[in-house]
Amino acid sequence: MAYIIEFTGPVLVAGDDQRHGLWSVDGKLTFERPVAAPDSVLDGWVLPGFVDAHCHIGLGVGGAVDEQTTLAQAQADLKAGTLLIRDAGSPSDTRWVQRREDLPRLLRAGRHIARSRRYLRGLGHEVEPDELVETARKEARDGDGWVKLVGDWIDRGTGDLSVSFPRNVVRDAIAAAHDEGARVTAHCFAEDTIDDMLDAGIDCIEHATGLLPRHIPRLVEQSVPIVPTLVNIATFPDIAAQAAPKFPVYADHMTRLWERRRERVLEAFEAGVGIFAGTDAGSVIKHGRIADEMKELYDAGLPPTAVLDAATWGARKWLGAQGISEGASADVVLCRDDPRKNLATVASLNHVVLRGKVVQWE
């Protein structure tokens, strides 16, 4: 016998497309009423499962974590309604997560690729410029369609943020990843890093704290989205305070980037730059904070429907994942209220359904 769930509330197929009458039959969505009675009836406003477009499963403060810790991370995201994760770099082999039917879907990017001695220890491959192209090619083959570069980091010699690799080498590395069928994203804090990445043909910009008016037309023209990770950017004042005694220029730079974080995101949105929700969970940011990131985007000035698009319909389309459609996997969340009118409702979900099974918590 097929297992049937009936969803009795309004169904948000898109921000401007509300329907009624949705069922899950053996894990697949359908708008056609089944002949048999439902085994379960769930009420609430139905949305596609949330997407965390910048998340680190299997990563901790010192690098790779054990499987039990990784499991707890994935379960925290699941409980928050995150049913699709785009990994943004992890030193752990998390393929086993992909084989678990009770954990969020995971798109792996492999390890970060950083400049030698210019990143947090234990997190990524640390290479010199002459090694970047082949490392990017290897990670492209090893991941699930994404490669993660560390575009800049503090240079202790100059005492400020500085690009990690020469522009021409980044261009060749991105071309190599593209040859392997992968897209490339890059950690970018500083202003000049974004210029270099756009020149090199990057596919996405993470953080984008250095976003300036000159970048926005290029992002639109090249169809390069940003993932602002505002819950992570909130840590900049603490980073600046710790760095100030030894690196005052860097500390001042980080503070200024933090001060304009919301203004930059709103400017990008109003100009038509794609924006997707990502928490940067892992290391210092706890997992399960997708609702917090959505609130940050709203506080930056994005309307609720745009925020929801950044974490559901638009994000899924960008990643090539299913939303709410006939025959799609039943990966949905149910909100108490209409999230387009009360965005806060995403923080206290009625139900989470993954692969047609209602997620239960003790």
Give the three-class secondary structure for 97: helix
| pLDDT for 110 beyond 90 | no
DSSP line for 50-80: EEEEEE-TTEETTEE--HHHHHHHHHHHHHT
Rounded Cα distance between 279 and 306, Å, is 17
Average model confidence (pLDDT) across the chain: 97
Q: Please state whether 21 falls in left (phi above 0), alpha (psi between -120 and 50) or beta.
A: left
Give DSSP secondary structure letters for 224-268: --EE--HHHHTTHHHHHHHHTTT-HHHHHHHHHHHHTHHHHHHHH
Q: What is the mean pLDDT of residues 260-265?
A: 97
- Judged on CB neighbours under 10 Å (0-12, 13-18, 19+), 46 is buried
Residues 6+ away with beta carbon under 8 Å from 63: 91, 121, 122, 123
Judge contact between 132 and 177, C-beta under 8 A: no
Q: Is the pLDDT of residue 362 over 70?
A: no
pLDDT, tens digit, 9 for 90 and up, residues 307-334:
999 999 999 999 999 999 999 999 999 9
155 bridge partner residues = 160
Which residue is associated with the tokens 């001695």? 117
Per-residue pLDDT, averaged over 335-355, amounts to 98
Q: Return left, alpha or beta for 115; rule: phi > 0 is left, psi -120 to 50 is alpha, else beta.
A: beta
pLDDT exceeds cutoff 90 at 283: no
Examine the pLDDT at 95 and tell me if it is beyond 70. yes
Give the distance from CA 245 to its chain's centroid. Answer: 33
**Average pLDDT of 354-362?**
90
pLDDT tens profile 64-82: 999 999 999 999 999 999 9
Provide the token pair at 90. Answer: 């992890």
pLDDT higher than threshold 70 for residue 199: yes
| Per-residue pLDDT tens over the stretch 111-137 | 999 999 999 888 999 999 999 999 999
pLDDT at 361: 76
